[in-house]
């Protein structure tokens, strides 16, 4: 199957780039919200255990104890836990079938073409696209413009099919050389540096190092 490739300066490509940027923003926003919900859930669980076991409330939770206890009373039974952003990828599982596109590397051999045809039978509803001379970026843009959910590129080494490479939504594959690929996460990653090490609780004066 052949998909119409999007031109570099076409309005369709610009819409696709804006959609990709929006998806990245939504992904990062969802991860931030998930982390905040997980932190609040852990605080409520610590407070709940302290109340059930009749122990002292942890020092760092005493200022928020009343608010956390109120949210504990309003929580529904059976709704504990925080859903992961990974589950969002499967929200349409059983409702909408994924659209998988399989293609090969450039100038594929006859064995690689046959392997791609057989691999198409492994995934239900998968389609195969002739690679031609197009780059991976052009293939990804074409797939996104045509509603393809997954792109699988099959390579070969000395005539032997090897290294099927998937292209997920929120990650970028950086090709270092013909045999090594690095996975780069899209979005900022906060890495705070260590400021001070103390041999005592934070609310006490530090002891000699």
Give me the pLDDT at residue 6, please: 45
Does 177 share its domain with 112?
A: yes
pLDDT mean for each 10 residues of the chain (209 residues): 53 75 82 83 81 80 74 59 58 73 88 88 86 83 82 83 64 57 54 59 56
Does 21 share its domain with 64?
A: yes
Give me the pLDDT at residue 41, please: 81
Q: Show which of 55, 90, 125 is a domain's final residue.
A: 90
Does 112 share its domain with 142?
A: yes
Give me the pLDDT at residue 181, please: 60
Domain region containing 131: 100-185
CA distance 91 to 102: 23
Give me the pLDDT at residue 163, please: 67
Displacement of CA 56 from its chain's centroid (Å): 40
Give me the pLDDT at residue 207, please: 52
Give me the pLDDT at residue 7, please: 46
Give me the pLDDT at residue 175, please: 55
Does 114 share its domain with 61?
A: no
Does 83 share its domain with 106?
A: no
Does 54 share its domain with 106?
A: no
Does 82 share its domain with 125?
A: no
Give me the pLDDT at residue 40, please: 81
Give me the pLDDT at residue 21, please: 82
Question: In total, how many domains does the chain have?
Answer: 2
- Label each residue of the chain as H, E or C: CCCCCCCCCCHHHHHHHHHHHHHHHHHHHHHHHHHHHHHHHHHHHHHHHHHHCCCCCCHHHCCCHHHHHHHHHHCCCCCCCCCCHHHHHHCCCCCCCCCEEEEECCCCCHHHHHHHHHHHHHCCCCEECCCCCCCHHHHHHHHHHCCCCEEEEEEEECCEEEEEEECCCCEEEEEEECCEEEEEECCCCCCCCCCCCCCCCCCCCCCCC
For residue 163, give the CATH number of its domain: 3.40.50.10480
CA–CA distances in Å: residue 142 to residues 25, 99, 120: 22, 13, 19
């Amino acid at each position: 199957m052949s998909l119409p490739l999007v031109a570099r300066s076409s309005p369709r490509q610009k819409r696709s780039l804006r959609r990709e940027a929006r998806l990245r923003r939504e992904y990062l926003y969802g991860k931030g919200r998930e982390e905040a919900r997980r932190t609040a859930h852990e605080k409520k669980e610590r407070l709940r255990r302290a109340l059930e076991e009749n122990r002292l409330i942890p020092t760092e939770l005493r200022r928020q104890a009343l608010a956390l206890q109120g949210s504990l009373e309003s929580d529904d039974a059976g709704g504990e836990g925080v859903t992961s952003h990974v589950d969002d990828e499967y929200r349409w599982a059983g409702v909408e079938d994924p659209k998988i596109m399989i293609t090969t590397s450039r100038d594929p051999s006859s064995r690689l073409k046959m392997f791609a045809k057989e691999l198409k039978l492994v995934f239900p509803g998968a389609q195969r696209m002739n690679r031609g001379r197009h780059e991976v970026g052009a293939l990804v843009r074409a797939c996104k413009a045509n509603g393809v959910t997954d792109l699988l590129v099959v390579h070969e080494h000395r005539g032997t099919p090897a290294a099927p490479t998937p292209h997920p939504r929120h990650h970028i594959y950086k090709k270092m050389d013909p045999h090594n690929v690095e996975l780069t996460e899209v979005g900022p990653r906060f890495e705070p540096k260590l400021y001070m090490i103390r041999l005592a609780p934070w609310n006490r004066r530090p002891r000699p190092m």
